[in-house]
Amino acid sequence: MVDIKSLLSQLTLEEKAAFCTGSGPWQTIDVERLGIPRITMSDGPHGVRKVQNIEEFGLAKSFPATCFPPAVLLASTWNKDLVQRVGEFLGDECISLDVDILLGPGVNIKRTPLCGRNFEYYSEDPYLAGEMGTAFVKGVQSKGVGTSLKHYSANNQEYQRFIISAEIDERTLREIYLPAFEKTVKESQPWTVMCAYNKINGIFASEHYDLLTRIMKSEWNLDGFIVSDWGAVQNRVAALKGGLDLQMPGPNDLDVQKVVEAVKNNELDENVLNQAVERILKIIFRAKKTKKAHIEFDKEKHHEFARKVAAEGIILLKNEDNVLPIKDASSIAIIGKMAKEPRFQGGGSSLINPTKVDNPFQEIKKLGGESILVRYADGYAKEGIDKTLIDEACDVAKQSDIVIIFSGLPFEHESEGYDRKTIKMPESHIELIKAVAKSNTKTIVVLNNGSVISLYEWIDSVPVVIEAYLGGQAGGGAVADVLFGKENPSGKLAESFPKRLEHTPSYINYPGEAGKVRYGEGLYVGYRYYDKKSIEPIFPFGYGLSYTTFAYSNLTISSKSFKDIDGVDVNVDITNTGKVPGKEVVQLYIHQPNPKADKPNKEMKGFSKVELQPNETKTVAFHLDSRSFAYYSVIHKSWVWDNGEYEILVGASSKDIRLRTKVILESTQNLPCKLNMDSTLRDWLDDPNGKFIIDEMIAQRINQVKMQNPDMEVDENQVKQELLMWAIDMPLLRMFKYVENQLPMSAEDLVKYFLTRVGVNNEENAS
Annotated active-site positions, please? 229
Long-range Cβ pairs for the range 647-650 (8 Å, 24+) = 647/590, 647/591, 647/592, 647/593, 648/555, 648/557, 648/570, 648/588, 648/589, 648/590, 648/624, 649/588, 649/589, 649/590, 649/591, 649/602, 650/552, 650/555, 650/570, 650/572, 650/586, 650/587, 650/588, 650/589
Q: How far apart are CA 63 and CA 42, in angstroms?
A: 11
Q: How far apart are CA 350 and CA 103, in angstroms?
A: 9
Query: Which parts of 50-164 are beta strand (E)?
Result: 101-103, 146-152
**Which parts of 518-619 fold into alpha helices (H)?**
527-533
DSSP 415: B
Burial track 625-639 (b if 16+ CB lie within 10 A, e otherwise): ebebbbbbbeeeeee
Region of 238 (left: φ > 0; alpha: ψ -120 to 50; beta: rest) is: alpha
Q: How far apart are CA 286 and CA 1, in angstroms?
A: 10
Q: How far apart are CA 523 and CA 528, in angstroms?
A: 7
Q: How far apart are CA 672 and CA 767, in angstroms?
A: 16
- SS3 assignment for 155-182: CCCCCCCCCCEEECCHHHHHHHHCHHHH
CA-atom Rg of the chain in angstroms: 30
Q: How far apart are CA 639 and CA 669, in angstroms?
A: 10
Q: What are phi and psi of 349, to 5 degrees?
A: -65, -15
SS3 content of the chain, % helix, strand, coil (to 5): 35, 20, 45
**What number of other Cβ atoms are within 10 A of residue 538's Cβ?**
17
- On the CB side of 350, CA atoms within 13 Å amount to 31
399 neighbors 445 (Cβ within 8 angstroms): no
Of 91, 477, 121, 550, the closest CA to residue 308 belongs to 477
User: CB-based contacts of 360: which residues, under 8 Å, 6+ apart?
Assistant: 334, 338, 339, 340, 342, 406, 446, 475, 476, 477, 479, 480
Q: How far apart are CA 480 and CA 372, in angstroms?
A: 14
**What number of other Cβ atoms are within 10 A of residue 555's Cβ?**
17
478 neighbors 311 (Cβ within 8 angstroms): yes
Burial track 73-104 (b if 16+ CB lie within 10 A, e otherwise): bbbbbbbbebbbbbbbbbbbbbbbbbbbbbbb
Q: How far apart are CA 475 and CA 319, in angstroms?
A: 20
User: CB-based contacts of 676: which residues, under 8 Å, 6+ apart?
Assistant: 755, 760, 765, 766, 767
Query: Which parts of 549-616 are beta strand (E)?
Result: 550-557, 561-563, 568-576, 582-591, 603-612
- SS3 assignment for 351-390: CCCECCCCCHHHHHHHHHCCCCEEEEECCCCCCCCCHHHH
19 neighbors 280 (Cβ within 8 angstroms): yes
User: CB-based contacts of 12: which residues, under 8 Å, 6+ apart?
Assistant: none
**What number of other Cβ atoms are within 10 A of residue 718's Cβ?**
11
Of 120, 189, 132, the closest CA to residue 156 belongs to 120
